[in-house]
């Protein structure tokens, strides 16, 4: 056994110090490669933010001019009419997103509780997880086809609830997967503590797991809401469009075609009238702003409280 040759202070006295190596930057192969790759990553990051910034810029310059109180309170104009707005579409979008959320959030969170806590290794969980992951990649138009078959055909009419169901199908997997992930992040030792104090399964989930995971769950919910608010395709088959308010003269027209911002943009952008085109730009701006606000809200609510 030979000992490691350490410079013992007593020996170090006698041996001369080694020549100092150069510590300067050196132009050599690996340094150059490092610089190159760093700049490439930098440029790519810049490129990735170009779409959002340019879209925002376009929407603000082209839609911003038309943005006034009138567009929020008036109904869509007909062919050669001037003025008008998309108040009913804004309301319709809100109503359908709320219906979708009212279905997807409770079902999604309950499903996530099963996946994360009750039967994480069960066959049902494996199946549900697979289904949810597949569903996230589902073309949104198919969600519309599903709701068309389930709701439109059975009720015999295009309606806001049908649109809400289509949006729920799109929101559900996002809520399930993010909520499951959020609950899995709750440390096991924290759950042990709750069990160790004599909590039942239900108490552990309700009092420890859910509150601890809530900020992250809210982030997922907000993302789902933001995604649903901007969807057009699933609403084409289910809510269609309407030129009237969903509540008209004190009468709720729940089971009739309902307007939404996304479909209004789709319809108006193809029209040959300047007025409608301007409204489509303004509506796009409003829609992006809604999505932006929801995303910012998810950041605020997504902060852990403790």
Partner 1 sequence: MSASAQTLVMDCKLDKIFYGDFMAVRDSHVPIEKNKITGFIGPSGCGKSTVLRSLNRMNDLVQNFRFDGHVHFLGQDVYGKGVDPVVVRRYIGMVFQQPNPFSMSIFDNVAFGLRLNRYKGDLGDRVKHALQGAALWDEVKDKLKVSGLALSGGQQQRLCIARAIATEPEVLLMDEPCSALDPIATRRVEELMVELKKNFTIALVTHNMHQATRVADTTAFFSVDISQGSRTGYLVEMGPTDQVFNHSREKLTRDYISGQFS
Binding site for partner 1 (CB under 8 A): 187, 189-190, 192-200, 203, 207-208, 211-212, 304-306
Measured from the CB atom, the residue of 117 and 231 that comes closer to partner 1 is: 117
Q: How far is the CB of 306 from partner 1 (least distance, A)?
A: 4
Cα dist from 281 to 60, 61, 110, 230, 284, whole Å = 9, 9, 39, 14, 5
The 10 Å Cβ neighbour count of residue 253 is: 16
Taking CB atoms within 8 Å and a gap of at least 24, the contacts of 290-297 are: 290/93, 290/226, 290/229, 290/261, 291/226, 291/229, 291/230, 294/222, 294/225, 294/226, 294/229, 295/222, 295/223, 295/226, 297/222
Measured from the CB atom, the residue of 182 and 228 that comes closer to partner 1 is: 182
Measured from the CB atom, the residue of 153 and 185 that comes closer to partner 1 is: 185
Q: How far apart are CA 163 and CA 117, in angstroms?
A: 32
Q: How far is the CB of 182 from partner 1 (least distance, A)?
A: 13
Measured from the CB atom, the residue of 190 and 296 that comes closer to partner 1 is: 190
Q: How far is the CB of 231 from partner 1 (least distance, A)?
A: 35
Q: How far is the CB of 199 from partner 1 (least distance, A)?
A: 6
Measured from the CB atom, the residue of 80 and 121 that comes closer to partner 1 is: 121
Q: Tell me which residue has tokens 């108490």.
A: 203
Measured from the CB atom, the residue of 36 and 206 that comes closer to partner 1 is: 206
Backbone angles phi, psi at 4, to 5 degrees: -65, 140
Q: How far apart are CA 208 and CA 186, in angstroms?
A: 9
Q: How far is the CB of 301 from partner 1 (least distance, A)?
A: 15
| Beta strands, E only, the chain | 247-248, 251-252
Q: How far apart are CA 190 and CA 194, in angstroms?
A: 7
Measured from the CB atom, the residue of 215 and 230 that comes closer to partner 1 is: 215
Residue 122 tokens, joined? 């069960």
Q: How far is the CB of 210 from partner 1 (least distance, A)?
A: 12
Q: How far is the CB of 112 from partner 1 (least distance, A)?
A: 18
């Amino acid at each position: 056994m030979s000992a490691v040759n350490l410079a013992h202070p007593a020996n170090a006295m006698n041996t001369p110090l080694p020549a100092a190596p150069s510590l300067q930057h050196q132009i050599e192969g690996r340094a150059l490669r490092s610089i190159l790759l760093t700049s490439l990553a930098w440029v790519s990051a810049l490129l990735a933010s170009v779409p959002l910034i340019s879209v925002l810029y376009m929407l603000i310059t082209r839609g911003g001019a038309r943005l006034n109180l009138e567009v929020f309170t008036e109904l869509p104009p007909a062919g050669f009419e001037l003025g008008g707005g998309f108040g009913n579409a804004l309301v319709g979008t809100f109503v359908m997103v709320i219906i979708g959320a009212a279905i997807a959030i409770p079902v999604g969170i309950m499903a996530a509780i099963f996946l994360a806590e009750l039967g994480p290794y069960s066959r049902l969980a494996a199946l549900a997880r697979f289904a949810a992951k597949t569903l996230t990649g589902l073309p949104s138009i198919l969600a519309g086809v599903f709701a068309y078959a389930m709701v439109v055909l059975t009720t015999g009419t295009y309606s806001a609830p049908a649109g809400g169901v289509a949006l729920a199908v799109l929101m559900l997997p996002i809520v399930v997967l993010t909520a499951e992930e959020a609950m899995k992040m709750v440390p096991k030792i924290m759950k042990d503590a709750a069990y160790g104090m004599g909590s039942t399964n239900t108490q552990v989930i309700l009092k420890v797991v859910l509150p601890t995971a809530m900020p992250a769950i809210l982030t997922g919910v907000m993302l789902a809401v933001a995604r649903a608010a901007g969807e057009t395709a699933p609403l084409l088959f289910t809510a269609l469009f309407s030129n009237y308010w969903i509540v008209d003269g004190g009468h709720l027209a729940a089971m009739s075609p309902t307007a939404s911002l996304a479909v209004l943009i789709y319809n108006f952008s193809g029209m040959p009238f300047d007025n409608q085109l301007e409204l489509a730009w303004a509506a796009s701006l409003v829609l992006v702003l809604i999505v932006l606000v929801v995303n910012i809200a998810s950041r605020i609510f997504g902060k852990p409280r403790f």
